[in-house]
Amino acid sequence: MTALITGSMAYDTIMVFHDYFKNHILPDQVHILNVSFLVSDLRREFGGCAGNIAYNLKLLGKEPLPMATVGEDFGPYREHLARLGIELRYLKEIEGTYTAQAYITTDLADNQITAFHPGAMNYAHLNRVPENVDIRLGVVAPDGREGMLCHAEQFHRAGIPFIFDPGQGTPMFDGAELIRFIELATWVIVNDYEAKLIEEKTRLSPELISERVDAVVVTQGAAGSLVYVDRRPLKILPAKPKRVVDPTGCGDAYRAGVIFGLLEGYDWETIGAIASLMGAIKVENAGTQNHRFTMEEFRQRFWDNFGYHF
């Protein structure tokens, strides 16, 4: 039994500008802004929430099922996933579209200018959550707006418990829609900013949401995370990275750790610790799908960080 992960598949084109945007943007002239930045560093990475979560869950020895809509340019990404042995049956190619793409330019102060093209992601609703399939749990991660709404309802109708993980898609929904997601979900995972945004729209704090679901997880970056069960918060300490290289994708790695722990039936203290270690390993590497480890190495690092074996 495994997890069906609905969400985006994307290419991330990342460029580094070896200067500061502030040196080239005149604040009093932004109404006629016309700038060009020479970027000497460029890399193209495989990304998207469904792809990243599936990648990390595969590292943990599970068999994830990513479900997403992709474009005609998906070939290299498809080959990458196939080499990893990740099941591709729920990826739907949309004719005449590009796979979702993010173009990110970062300056030396880690400021970012990003252009995002959703492409095939806009057709996420054309994929349907399968019924009568051996799926233990589901994930509704950032995707096309209509797709996220449909997939939550479909998981519920199929009797499949699921994680609601709105991520950067949170602003797309109003208060009533967010409450509906919460009513349907079994677990909710957000970062601290998203938690505040949801509370502003719904008047539901993480404590109050935890009365409606089995657990609410609120990540806090380098400060660790909180797990709320029946309004009671459990503090999860962060694992220690060997170095900090790139935080992009840490949230998706953390979520894979949560899914792994739920599939294994662990308690929330252990689930949170596994998830924290996944985030720490990811931050040590550039890109969202370039880190590697064996389960033996992972278990040793877990012992080193938390002092017990899972």
Does the CA dihedral 292-257-277-209 come out positive or negative? Answer: positive
User: Would you say 91 and 126 are in contact if contact means Cβ atoms under 8 Å apart?
Assistant: no
Q: Is the pLDDT of residue 107 over 90?
A: no
Specify which residues 41 forms β-bridges with. 16
Residues above pLDDT 90, as percent of the chain: 86
191 φ/ψ angles, rounded to the nearest 5 degrees:
-90, 175
Q: Is the CB of residue 49 less than 8 Å from the CB of residue 252?
A: yes
Query: What pLDDT, on the 0 to 100 scale, is given for residue 1?
Result: 67
Mean pLDDT value across residues 120-144: 95
Residue of 72, 81, 15 whose CA lies nearest to 47: 81
Pick from 37, 40, 84: nearest CA to 58 = 84
Going 120 to 121 to 126 to 131, the CA torsion angle's sign is positive
Q: Where are the alpha helices (DSSP H) in the chain?
A: 49-59, 75-84, 145-158, 175-184, 192-202, 206-209, 250-264, 268-283, 295-306
Four-residue CA torsion sign, 17, 22, 24, 30: positive
Domains of the chain: 2-21+40-301 (3.40.1190.20)
Closest to 56 (Cα-Cα) out of 285, 221, 300: 285
185, β-bridge pairs: none
Whole-Å CA distances, 183 to 156, 180, 187: 10, 5, 10
- For residues 162-167, give the mean pLDDT: 97
In the DSSP assignment, the letter for residue 163 is E
C-alpha distances out from residue 69 to 116, 220, 237, Å: 16, 30, 36
For 274-297, how does the pLDDT look when each residue is reduced to its tens digit (9 = 90+)? 999 999 999 999 999 999 999 999
**Residue 204: C-alpha distances to residues 38, 83, 176, 232, 235 (Å):** 45, 43, 11, 15, 20
Q: What is the mean pLDDT of residues 212-228?
A: 96
Adjacent-strand bridge partners of 5: 66, 139
Model pLDDT for residues 31-60, shown as the tens digit of each residue = 888 989 999 889 999 999 999 999 999 999
- The alpha carbons of the chain give a radius of gyration, in whole angstroms, of 19
- 170 band by pLDDT with thresholds 50, 70 and 90: very high
* Mean pLDDT, residues 204-215: 98
**Which pLDDT does position 109 carry in this prediction?**
84
